[in-house]
Structure formats: C-alpha cells, structure tokens
C-alpha cells in the first residue's frame, strides 16, 4: 500500500480564482484535468509490489467507472525532506 494517497480537485471556482489572482495569465497554463491523485511510496520496490499485487486490483474495482485511462498522465519524482539541526523543517 502507498504511504498516502491524497486527491486534489481543480474545480471551476479554483480556475476562476487563479485566473483572477494572476490577471488571466494562468488560463493557458492550467492543465486540463479535473483531479489528481498522488501516490507516495517509500521505495520503487514498494510501488512495483503495489502495481502487481493481485490484492491491489481490488482497490481499483470501480476504476473504469470514473477514470479515462487514455487521459491519464504520470509524473514520478522523489520527495526530499529538509532537516535542520536534526529536526524536520516544515
């Protein structure tokens, strides 16, 4: 299982507000997605295990009902934590 899986929704109101704040400059830059789902894994091995675990398929039971795989895009990266004097900086 991923360490956490937050979901972020970009609603019409959000798009309107960011365009107001940036005086319309954001309109061409906004990605055309309604939502993003972030999966955070402690390692690449944990991701691979999750992707190929038969039990993981149960989590995606209604996946086809609300997601268009042809429109899905992936972004992968590393998360870095800033530590100062042995304490995590928020």
69-85 burial, b for 16+ CB within 10 Å, e for fewer?
Answer: eeeeeeeeeeeeeeeee
- Kindly state whether residue 2 falls inside one of the protein's structural domains: no
Q: pLDDT, tens digit, for every residue of 46-86?
A: 888 888 888 766 666 666 677 777 877 888 888 788 999 99
pLDDT at 27 over 70: no
pTM for this predicted structure:
0.54
CB 4 within 8 A of CB 40: yes
SS3 state of residue 7: strand
Taking the CA atoms of residue 59, residue 56, residue 49 and residue 77 in that order, the dihedral angle to the nearest 10 degrees is -20
Q: Which helix (H) or strand (E) holds 87?
A: strand 87-88
43 located within any domain: yes
Query: Which residues constitute the domain of residue 57?
Result: 7-88
Number of domains forming the structure of the chain: 1
């Amino acid at each position: 299982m991923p360490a956490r899986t937050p979901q972020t929704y970009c609603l019409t109101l959000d798009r309107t507000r960011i365009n107001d704040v940036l005086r319309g400059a954001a309109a061409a830059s906004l990605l055309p997605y309604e939502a993003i789902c972030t999966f955070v894994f402690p390692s690449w091995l944990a991701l691979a295990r999750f992707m190929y675990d038969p039990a993981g398929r149960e989590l995606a039971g209604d996946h086809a009902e609300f997601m268009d795989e042809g429109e899905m895009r992936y972004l992968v990266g590393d998360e870095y934590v800033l530590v100062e004097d042995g304490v995590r900086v928020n």
